[in-house]
Structure 1
Amino acid sequence: MKKQSLAVAAVLATAISAPSMAADWFVGGAVGYQQDTYKIKETENGATESDKAKEKDMSYQLRVGTYLNDNNRVYGTYSYNSDDFAKQQSFLASYDYLVPLGAGKKLNWFVGATAGMNHTSPDFDELSSKNTFVWGGQTGLMYKINDKLSTEIGYRYLKQDYDVSASDTDYSAKFSLNDTQQVYLGVDYRF
């Protein structure tokens, strides 16, 4: 829990100070592929069985943020995903450090940290929806098309803490969402 608190504090401190240092605001969107790793433990009539499942589907993102300077950016992201197990909505705060690749500074490698909240709504009536803390990081390549438009391809890993249980007379089950991995293509507009 201490790591989670420190991660949230660092991202929030950077985001709160952003308006006073802001150089360029941006809005954007991304579409990508998301893989969620679920663990399932079922007990029926005294017999226990465990399984691990990976659900894969599309992910959609909207974001707004600011470039603090040529090497630092902060942003907030809303992300939506629906797979065979659940629907997820994420609200994330992120920080990226950009490293120019070449003299023209059009191509940048970025690496950063993310923390936020994820709302998971299982597609089963027996399981309840839940808000959980998520944290992780991202990396990728950003290409500046012109002064207003940029595009990027990225990879994000999020550690999840979603656990929920269901039971009746002879049956019990525990479901957990351990992590999420996303690969995405995004476009941003600076103003």
Structure 2
Amino acid sequence: MKTKSLALAAVIATAMSAPTMAADWFIGGAVGYQQDTYKTDSLLEGKDKDKQKDMTYQVRGGAYLNDNNRVYGTYSYNSDDIAKQQGFLMSYDYLIGLDASNKLNWFVGATAGMNHTSPDSKDFSSKNTFVWGGQTGFMYKINDKLSTEIGYRYLKQDYDLDISNGANKGTFSLNDTQQVYLGVDYRF
């Protein structure tokens, strides 16, 4: 729990300092593909792992602090055969210029936030949980106002429930989420 608290505190502190340092604000969106890993372990049915794949949709806004640092918040939505998820994330990325004009950048960063998971089954309840992870990808600055990126994000999930259905007892969990996305941002 200490690591999660430190990660969340670092991301929040960076985001809170953005207004005093920000050079360029931006808004944007992304669409992509999301894979969730669900696990069940019950007395009657044993252990089972299920990977669900579906689309993810994201809206975000933030600030470029300088040529190498950006902070942003993201709202994401995903619905698969097992659950619907809404994520509220704060992220920090370090950008590494790959050309002399810094039009093409590789980014790597950290993310922390909350995820609201609503399982489709009446046996499981909706729950807000802490999520944390990181992302990497490539960003291309089309012009002074418009940029696009392709990225990969990994999120560790803390969604765990105890199963108690008659004689069947066990656990149900959402362990992790992986996303591949394509985004477009507008700077103002």
TM bracket (short chain):
over 0.9
The Cα shift of 1:173 comes to 4.0
Question: Tell me, what secondary structure is at the counterpart of 1:15?
Answer: helix
Structure 2 gaps, min length 5:
none
1:131 to 107, 128, 147: 128
The letter of the residue matching 2:92 is Y
The Cα shift of 1:165 comes to 2.3
- The whole-number CA distance in structure 1 between the counterparts of 2:170 and 2:121 is 12
Partner of 1:64: 61
- The whole-number CA distance in structure 2 between the counterparts of 1:56 and 1:159 is 16
- The whole-number CA distance in structure 1 between the counterparts of 2:173 and 2:163 is 12
Partner of 1:18: 18
Write the mapping of 1:113-124 to structure 2, written as runs, cut at 5 A: 113-124=110-121
Question: Tell me, what secondary structure is at the counterpart of 1:147?
Answer: coil
Q: CA RMSD in A?
A: 0.9
- The whole-number CA distance in structure 2 between the counterparts of 1:115 and 1:168 is 33
The Cα shift of 1:164 comes to 1.1
The letter of the residue matching 1:81 is N
Say yes or no: does 1:108 pair with 2:88.
Answer: no
- The whole-number CA distance in structure 1 between the counterparts of 2:81 and 2:159 is 16
Question: Tell me, what secondary structure is at the counterpart of 2:43?
Answer: strand
- The whole-number CA distance in structure 2 between the counterparts of 1:165 and 1:104 is 54
- The whole-number CA distance in structure 2 between the counterparts of 1:170 and 1:97 is 51
- The whole-number CA distance in structure 2 between the counterparts of 1:146 and 1:174 is 50
Structure 1 gaps, min length 5:
none
Partner of 2:47: 50
Matched residues, number: 188
Question: Tell me, what secondary structure is at the counterpart of 2:124?
Answer: coil
State the Cα deviation string for residues 46-102 of structure 1 (Å, max 9, x = none): xx5101110000000000000000000000000000001100000000000000001
Q: Does structure 1 conserve the Cα–Cα contact (< 8 Å) formed by 2:40 and 2:170?
A: yes
Runs (4+) of structure 1 moved beyond 4 Å? none
| Structure 2 length-normalised TM | 0.98
| Structure 1 length-normalised TM | 0.96
- The whole-number CA distance in structure 1 between the counterparts of 2:4 and 2:34 is 23
Q: Does structure 1 conserve the Cα–Cα contact (< 8 Å) formed by 2:42 and 2:163?
A: no
The Cα shift of 1:42 comes to 2.2
